[in-house]
Amino acid sequence: MESLKIAFLWHHHQPYYKDPLTGEYALPWVRLHAVKAYYDMAALLKDFPKIHACVNLVPSLLKQLQDYADGTANDLFLERTLKPADALEPDERHFLLRYFFMAHWETMVKPWPRFHELLQRRGLHGDDESLREAAGRFATHDYRDLQILFNLAWFGFKAMEALPALQELRRKGRGFTEEDKAEVVRSQYEILRRVIPLYRDLESAGQVELTASPFYHPILPLVYDTEIARRCLPHAPMPDRFQAPEDARTQIERAVEFHARVIGRRPKGFWPSEGSVCPEILPLLLDAGISWIATDEEILLHSIPAPSRAEVLYRPYLAAAGERALPMVFRDKDLSNLISFTLGNVEPRAAVDEIFKRLDSIDEAAAGQKGRPLVTIVLDGENPWENYPESGKYFLTELYGRLSGSERFRTVRIADELERHPPHHRIQHLHSGSWIHHDFDIWIGSDEENRAWDYLNRTRKALLPFLNDASIPAARREAAWEAIYAAEGSDWFWWYGDDFSSVHDEEFDRLFRGHLAGAFRHLERPVPEYLSRPIIHLHAVKHVTEPMNFIRPTLDGKRTSYFEWQGAGCYDATRRSTRFGAERLLSAVCYGFDPTHCYLRIDPAEGCSPEKQKRYEIHLHFFGGPAEYKWVIPCALSDRPRFTVERSPDGIRYEPLGEVTTIVMGAIIELAVPFAMLGWKPGERHHFIVEIRSDGKVVETYPPNGYLTLEVPDQDFEQLMWSV
C-alpha cells in the first residue's frame, strides 16, 4: 500500500530592516535568526537524508543574509555588543539592560545560569525607572557578560555542535573577556556565511525544494487593489483606493529573478506572503513561470462546496486563471498550528506521538479512496523554536527520526509530487483572503493600517511623474522604486493597529515612513511633512464589542451568569500581543451601564492568581470628554474593598471626587460608579484605557496604543439600539 505523503513547507522571513537613511540594520533579527533557526533547519535536514521538505526563502531575507555574509551589514545591537564594556556610556548601558534580554526567557535565558542571574538582578520590568535603578546593580563585568550571553543564547543547537569554541564558551558560562566576545562575533559570521550555501547544497542533492515569495513580502491582493479586501471585510473601513497591479507583478518577477541568481535555479513553488491570494494574482504568477503555490485550508473551504474538511483538503487543485490554471496545495491548519503554537511545552516524544496520532486519523479516513492523501504542513521555520527547549532540537530530531523509519508515512517535495500526480480537481473562483481568518484584517481596516496605506498611496501618486521621467537618471529612479516596493512589505502593516504589538512598534513605524521618504530623496524631491508624523497614535481599537443594552449585573466577583453581562461592551485582551517577555495579566475588560450607573468588569488572565494580584493596582484613565478622570483600584484583597475616583480639568492636576465602595473582588473584579458622582451627561463620549501598575510603575496597558469608548446613555438608549 502506498504511503501517506507529507509535505513540509518551512517559511523563512524577516522584515527588511535596512535603514534607508543610514544604511545600517535597525534590528538584529536576521543575524540572530540566521545563527539559530536558519542554520539549524538546514543542518538538521542534512542529518536525515530520507526527509524531503520545501523551504521558503523570501528574497528580501536572502538579500539581508547576503549583506551579513559579505560583511557589509551592521546593526545597532552588533555595535553595542562590540563596544568594550568599560567604555560603555550611560545610555548604552541602559540600552543593554532594556534590549539584551530579548529572548524567550523560559528556553533561552533560564538555561544559562549567569544570564538568568543577570535578568533577576535587572528585574522583570523594563520601564525606564526600573532600568535606572538596575544600572546601579551592574558592574563592568556584568555588562560584558550580558553582551556575550545575549549573543550566545541566540545560537542554535547545530551551530553549537559545529563550532567547538562556542561549546567552550558555554561551559565557561561567566567571567567573559573581550577576546571571548570577539570569538562570539567571529562565530556568528562563520555561521552566516554557511547558511545560503547549505540550502543550495540540499536542493542540489534533491532533498529540499527551495521556494520563493514576493520580493519584499507584500500582501499581493492589497498591492494589486485594496478594494479586493472588501470581498472578505465588507463592513471594515477602508483607505482611499490603492491600486498598483504593476507593482504586484514586479514584486513577483523580481523575486523569481533574484532567487535564480542567488540559488542558481528558478523557483517552481511560491508561498504568497501570509498565504494571501485572490483570482487576480494567479495570471501574474503563471506569467512568472511559477508551477504551484500554497495557502491555508480556509481559503479552500471558502472556495468550493465542501461536504467535510477531510474529504477535500488532502489533495492538490487547479485554480482557474482565465483559460489557464495554477496548481495549488492547502496547508492543514491544525497540524501546522500545533507545531507553531502548542507543542513547545510538551515532552518531545509525546509531542511527536500527537502528530502521528493525527496523521494516523487522516490515513485511516482515506482508506479506500482513490489516490493517497497529500498532507501539507506550512509554518514558520524560525519563530516556533524559541518556545522549544534547545531550539527545537529534541522535538525535530524525534520527528525526523520517526518519519525516516516509517513505512506508512513518506515526506515529499511538493513539485515532485505534483509532477508524479498532477491535480485534476478544479477551483473555478478562488476565495480572496490570507492564512489568518481567511481575510486581510491584520493588514487593513484599522485607523493606523489605513493611514499607512494612505501614506503609501500619496507617496506613489506624487512621485509617479518623476519615476516615469526619462530625464532623471535611471539609477535614481530605480532606487526610488526599490524604496516604494520595500514600503509595500506586509510587516509594517502587521505591526500597525491593535492585532499585534511589540517593543519595536515605533521603530517599525519609523522604518516604513523612512522607506517612503527615501523614495523622495532618491528623486531629489523635498520630503513632505506628513512623512515626519508618526502613524502610531492613540486610537479606537478593533476587536471590541460595543454596549448594546442596559445591564444590571450582580456585583459578587463571580461569573454568575452569561446573561448578566450580555449587552455590555467587551474588549478581548487575548487578541493582542504583550510586550516582549511580559506576562499577560488581563483576559478581558467589559463595560456597560443602566440609566444611572456605569459598570465595569475586569477578568484576570489565567494564571494571575489572587496572591499575584495583590502586587498590582489598576488605574482607569478617562479622557476625550469635558474633563479627564482617573479611577484607582487597589487589587489587594480587603474586607471592605473600595477605590477612589478623581477628576482633572487639564489631565495634570487631579482632585478627588470621593471613594466608591460598590466593588467586589473575587475570581473577577466587578464595580459600579454613579453617573451623578462623575457629572457625566447623556451623549458625552469618554475614551478610556486600563493600566496595571506595580510600585507606581506601569506594567501593562489595555489596549496598547489604543482606547475604548463609552458613550453615556439616555433613557431611550435601549429603544434606539433595538431599532438599529
**409 burial type by CB count under 10 A (0-12 exposed, 13-18 middle, 19+ buried):** buried
Which of 511, 532, 553 is a domain's end point?
532
Do both 419 and 461 map to the same domain? no
The span from the CA of 143 to the CA of 346, in Å, is: 34
368, 481: one domain: no
Q: Are 290 and 376 within one domain?
A: yes
The pLDDT-based confidence of 581 (bands split at 50, 70, 90) is very low
**Residue 578 clears pLDDT 70, i.e. is over it:** no
pLDDT at 50: 98
427-454: b (≥16 Cβ within 10 Å) or e: beebbbbbbbebbbbbbbbbbbbbbbbe
Task: Encode pLDDT of 606-655 as tens digits.
Answer: 877 777 778 889 999 898 888 989 999 998 766 788 999 999 886 667 89
For the stretch 486-509, pLDDT in tens is 999 999 999 998 788 788 888 999
Alpha-carbon distance of 598 to 611, in angstroms, equals: 28
Both 146 and 177 in a single domain? Answer: yes
With 80 as the cut, is the pLDDT of residue 201 above it? yes
Q: How confident is the model at residue 697, as a pLDDT?
A: 60
Identify whether residues 475 and 371 lie together within a single domain: no
Task: Find the distance separating the first CA and the last CA of the chain, reported in whole Å.
Answer: 60
The reported pLDDT for the residue numbered 583 is 58
Q: Which amino acid is at 340?
A: S
Domain with 462 in it: what CATH number? Answer: 1.20.1430
Using DSSP, state whether 631 is helix, strand or coil.
strand
Angle at Cα 312 formed by Cα 296 and Cα 395, nearest 5°? 50
Could you identify the residue written with the cell 520580493? 215
Return the bridge partners of 646, or none.
Answer: 630, 656
* Last residue of one domain, picked from the residues 532, 567, 588: 532
- Taking alpha carbons only, the member of 595, 573, 568, 600 closest to residue 584 is 573
pLDDT, tens digit (0-9, with 9 covering 90-100), for 186-197: 999 999 999 999
- Domain assignment of residue 381, yes or no: yes
Task: List pLDDT tens digits, range 513-523.
Answer: 999 999 999 99
- pLDDT, residue 26, reads 92
Lowest-confidence range among 34-38, 148-152, 408-412, 712-716?
712-716
- Among the listed residues 268, 274, 233, the one whose alpha carbon sits nearest the alpha carbon of residue 441: 233
pTM: 0.77
Cβ atoms of 414 and 269 within 8 Å: the answer is yes
Q: Based on C-alpha coordinates, what's the Rg of the chain?
A: 27
Please state, in angstroms and rounded to a whole number, the distance separating the CA atoms of residues 286 and 288.
Answer: 5
Is 656 part of any domain? yes
User: Can you tell me the distance from the alpha carbon of 104 to that of 386, in angstroms, rounded to the nearest whole number?
Assistant: 6
CB 650 within 8 A of CB 669: no
Grid cell 439600539 — which residue?
A: 721
For residue 539, being part of any structural domain is answered with no
The pLDDT, as a whole number, for residue 724 is 41
Poorest-pLDDT segment among 16-20, 48-52, 76-80, 125-129 = 125-129
CATH number of the domain bearing residue 170: 3.20.110.10
* Cα–Cα distance measured from residue 55 to residue 40, given in angstroms and rounded to the nearest whole number: 13
Looking at every residue in the chain, the average pLDDT score rounds to 92
Each residue's pLDDT tens digit, 388-443: 999 999 999 999 999 999 999 999 999 999 999 999 999 999 999 999 999 999 99
Q: Tell me the pLDDT band of 577, cut-offs 50, 70 and 90.
A: very low
> How much is the pLDDT for 670?
95
Helices (H), 374-413: 393-404
Q: Is residue 610 part of a domain?
A: yes
CB-CB contact of 12 with 63 (8 Å): no
d(C-alpha 623, C-alpha 626), whole Å: 8
Instruction: Provide mean pLDDT across the span 8-25.
Output: 94
Alpha carbons 91 and 97: distance in angstroms, whole number:
10
pLDDT above 70 coverage of the chain, percent? 95
Chain position carrying cell 510603575: 697
Q: What is the pLDDT of residues 301-334, one digit of tens each?
A: 999 998 889 999 999 999 999 999 999 999 999 9
Same domain, 523 and 574: no
Residue whose C-alpha is closest to residue 81's, from 196, 199, 178, 170? 178
On the CB side of 520, CA atoms within 13 Å amount to 18
Say yes or no: 171 and 102 in one domain.
yes
Q: Are residues 687 and 658 in the same domain?
A: yes
Instruction: Using the 3D structure, point to which of 481, 497, 532 is the last residue of a domain.
Output: 532
pLDDT beyond 90 at 29: yes
Using a pLDDT cut of 90, give the percent of the chain over it.
Answer: 78
pLDDT recorded at residue 239: 97
C-alpha cell at position 414: 511538493
In whole angstroms, how far apart are CA 696 and each of 45, 632, 710? 50, 11, 26
Neighbours of 679 (CB within 10 A): 13
In a domain? residue 537? no
Nearest to 705 by CA among 493, 512, 448: 448
Tens of pLDDT along 691-722? 888 876 667 778 876 789 999 998 777 665 54
Shared domain check, 362 and 468:
no
Work out how many domains the chain is built from and give that number.
Answer: 3
Q: Can you tell me the mean pLDDT for 36-40?
A: 98
Helix/strand/coil (H/E/C) assignment for every residue in 530-587 = HHHCCCCCCCECCCEECCCCCCCCCCCCCCCCHHHHCCCEEEEHHHCCCCCCCCCCEE
State the Cα–Cα distance between residues 312 and 306, nearest whole angstrom. 7
Query: Residue 453 above 70 pLDDT?
Result: yes
In 10 A of CB 203, how many CB atoms?
A: 18
- Is 538 a domain residue? no
474 and 520 in a single domain? The answer is yes
DSSP state of 370: S
> What kind and span of H or E run contains 134?
helix 128-135
Torsion, Cα 250 252 255 256, to 10 degrees, reads: -110
Phi then psi for 127, rounded to 5 degrees? Answer: -75, 160
Judged against a pLDDT cut of 80, whether residue 68 lies above it is answered with yes
Mean of the pLDDT values across residues 555-566?
85
Tell me the CATH number at 620. Answer: 2.60.40
- The model's confidence at residue 229, banded by pLDDT at 50, 70 and 90, is very high
Stretch 17-38: mean pLDDT = 94
Instruction: Indicate whether 469 and 389 sit together in one domain.
Output: no
**89 confidence band (pLDDT: 50, 70, 90):** very high
Asked whether residue 437 falls in the same domain as residue 505, the answer is no
Please give the pLDDT value at position 723. Answer: 41
Owner of C-alpha cell 489568518: 436
Cα separation, 591 vs 581, in Å, equals 29
The more confident residue out of 230 and 666 is 230
Domain hosting 601: range is 544-723
